[in-house]
Amino acid sequence: MGFLERVSTVLQAKMNKIMNRIEDPREVLDVSYEKQLQLLQNVKRGVAEVTTSKKRLELQKAKLQMNIDKLDGQAKEAISANREDLARKALESKAMMQAQLNTLDREIVELNDQQQKLQAAEARLATKVEAFRTKKETIKAQYSAADAQVKITESVTGISEEMADVGLAVQRAEEKTEDMKARSAALDELLESGTLTDYSGGDEIEAELARVKAKNTVDEELAKLKAEVNK
C-alpha cells in the first residue's frame, strides 16, 4: 500500500468511528456540531498553552542573558585584579549559559511556529463550523428529500475530516509543549541553584566535545579580555 493511501485510510477510519455510533442521520448532524464546538474550545486552549510556554521560555532567556552579562562583568573585573583563574571560571559558566541560550532560541522559534499553525487551524475550523451549522439547518428542513442522506453523509464526513486534521494539530502541539515544559522546569532549577553544568544530555562524546568547544571559547575570550585590560 502506498504512503498516501495508508495515511488516508488511518484518518478516515477514525472519522467513521464517530459516524457509525449514531442511528438517526439528523442526530449525526447535531452530535457532530457539538463535537465541533468542543474541538474549537480545545484548539483555543491549545493556542493559550503554546503561548504560555513561549512566554516562559522568553522569560528564561532574559534571565540567562542577565546572568551572561553579569559573568562578563565579573570576568573583566577578575582580569583587572590579575585573577585569571577567577576570570576563567566566570567565562566557563558563561559558555555553558550561552549554549543553553542558543537552545532556548531554537525552541522559541519552534513554539512560535506551532502557535501560528494552531491559530490558522482555529480560524479555518471556525469558518467550517459556521458553514456546517448553516448547512445542517438546511438539510434538516428538507429532510424528506431523497438526497438528504447523501448530503448528510457528505457534510458530516467533510467536517469530521477537518476535525481530525485540527485534532491532530492540537495533539502535536501538546506533545511539543510537554517536552519543552519538562526541559524548561529542569532549566529553572539549574538557574535557581546557579549550577549550570550538565547541558549536553547523556551522550559522553557529545559532552566532551561541548567541553572542548567551551574551553576554546573561554581561551579566546580570556585572551581578548586581557588584551583589552592591558591596553
Partner 1 sequence: MIIRILGEGQFRFDDSHLGELNEIDNQIVDHVKKGDKNGFCQDLARMISTVKELGKPISEEEVIPSDLIVPPADLSFEEAKDIFCNEGIIEG
Min. distance of Cβ 54 from partner 1 in angstroms? 17
Closest by alpha carbon to 92, among 190, 202, 211? Answer: 211
Q: How far is the CB of 164 from partner 1 (least distance, A)?
A: 7
Cell numbers linked to 1: 500500500
Compute the least distance from the CB of residue 168 to partner 1, in Å. Answer: 6
Residue 76 or 117: the one with the smaller Cβ distance to partner 1 is: 117
Binding site for partner 1 (CB under 8 A): 2-8, 10-12, 14, 17, 117, 121, 124, 127-128, 131-132, 135, 154-155, 157-159, 161-162, 164-165, 168-169, 171-172
CB nearer partner 1, residue 57 or residue 159: 159
Where does residue 185 rank: exposed (0-12), middle (13-18), buried (19+ CB within 10 A)?
exposed
Minimum CB distance to partner 1 smaller for 91 or for 169: 169
CA 117 remoteness from chain centre: 10
CA 171 centroid distance within chain? 11
Q: Which is nearer to partner 1, 95 or 152 (CB)?
A: 152
Cβ atoms of 172 and 46 within 8 Å: the answer is: no
DSSP 8-state class, residue 201: -
Question: 218: Cβ–Cβ under 8 A, 6 or more apart, which residues?
Answer: 88, 91, 92, 94, 95
Taking the complex as a whole, the smallest distance from the CB of residue 174 to partner 1 amounts, in Å, to 11
Nearer to partner 1, 108 or 210 (CB): 108
Write down the least CB distance from residue 201 to partner 1, Å. 18
